[in-house]
Amino acid sequence: MLPAVHRAWQALPARCPACGLWTRGHRCTLCLARFAAPQPRCLGCGMPRHVWCNACHDCPPASARATQVVVGADYGLPWDGLVSRLKFQQQPELAAWLAPLLAQALDRLPVARAPVDWVVPVPLAPRRLQVRGYNQAWEVARRLAGPLGLTARPDLLLRWRDTDAQTGQDGRQARLANLQGAFMPAPGCRDLLAGRQVALVDDVLTTGATLRAASQALREAGVAGVCWWVVTRTP
């Protein structure tokens, strides 16, 4: 339960950064209805298809992927602009508008939500965190976990290599090699991870390589299952 002062702040009128309308709190029902209408998504890859797309059906996610993939919306108007401003224009407060997008998708899952013990943001490498000043995934994760009655933990998983440089690399193999060993469980946290269920939170899902590398590190630390909760997915 949020402290009273925080609940009061959330209920204050605020202006939607996408459409400009005044709303109660940071949830624009107009934008959510117009730009995040319910649509079936594959629970293995998050693409807007059936509950399990053919590719995921043939390759069960239990092997290397997520237990359940939940996506707020396609990476398109107006969410792409909000995510970009959240990340690159020093506007961490926009996470308050993006967390409800993911919350809505979790609310509308056609199946039971997989159990979750910890909500964990995909971490940034220390240097990038220092430059940006905040981790956008944590800004979303912490706003999402509270209303769901879950605990967000930014301290369980570390990233010690900056892999965003992967955009400059050619080829899938090079990207994957760069991600190998980029994540590790935080020292002294293995007891908190062993046998637990984790929801990894990120802002954008594209190839899934980053989330897979983070999931692999969690599984190697003994985590029983990893869900991916992602604000947007590139179509």
Among 16-24, 96-104, 120-128, 167-175, the segment contacting Zn ion (CB under 5 A): 16-24
Residue 160 near residue 182, CB atoms below 8 Å: yes
With binding defined as CB under 5 A, does residue 42 bind Zn ion?
yes
Residue 102 near residue 144, CB atoms below 8 Å: yes
Site for Zn ion in 120-179 (CB under 5 A): none
Which of 56, 122, 145, 199 is close enough to bind Zn ion by CB under 5 A?
56
Distance in Å, CB of 223 to Zn ion, minimum: 22
With binding defined as CB under 5 A, does residue 31 bind Zn ion?
yes
Residue linked to tokens 């029983």: 224
How many CB atoms are closer than 10 A to CB 99?
Answer: 24
- Kindly state the number of chain residues that form the binding site for Zn ion, as judged by CB under 5 A: 11
With binding defined as CB under 5 A, does residue 45 bind Zn ion?
yes
Distance in Å, CB of 104 to Zn ion, minimum: 13
Phi, psi of 73 (to 5 degrees): -165, 170
With binding defined as CB under 5 A, does residue 16 bind Zn ion?
yes
Judged by beta carbon, residue 34 or residue 127, the one nearer Zn ion is: 34
Residue linked to tokens 């390589």: 209
With binding defined as CB under 5 A, does residue 221 bind Zn ion?
no
Report how far apart the first and last C-alpha atoms of the chain are (Å, whole number): 35
With binding defined as CB under 5 A, does residue 213 bind Zn ion?
no
With binding defined as CB under 5 A, does residue 19 bind Zn ion?
yes
With binding defined as CB under 5 A, does residue 82 bind Zn ion?
no
Distance in Å, CB of 154 to Zn ion, minimum: 28
Nearest to 121 by CA among 203, 208, 45: 203
Residue linked to tokens 């090079």: 174
What is the full DSSP assignment across 128-176?
HHHHHSS-HHHHHHHHHHHHHT-EE-TTSEEE-S--GGGGGS-SHHHHH
Distance in Å, CB of 161 to Zn ion, minimum: 28
The DSSP letter of residue 92 is G
Judged by beta carbon, residue 65 or residue 142, the one nearer Zn ion is: 65
Distance in Å, CB of 22 to Zn ion, minimum: 10
List CB contacts of 30: < 8 A, sequence separation 6 or more. 16, 19, 21, 23
Judged by beta carbon, residue 100 or residue 225, the one nearer Zn ion is: 100
With binding defined as CB under 5 A, does residue 44 bind Zn ion?
yes
Chain positions contacting Zn ion, by CB under 5 A:
16, 18-19, 28, 30-31, 42, 44-45, 53, 56
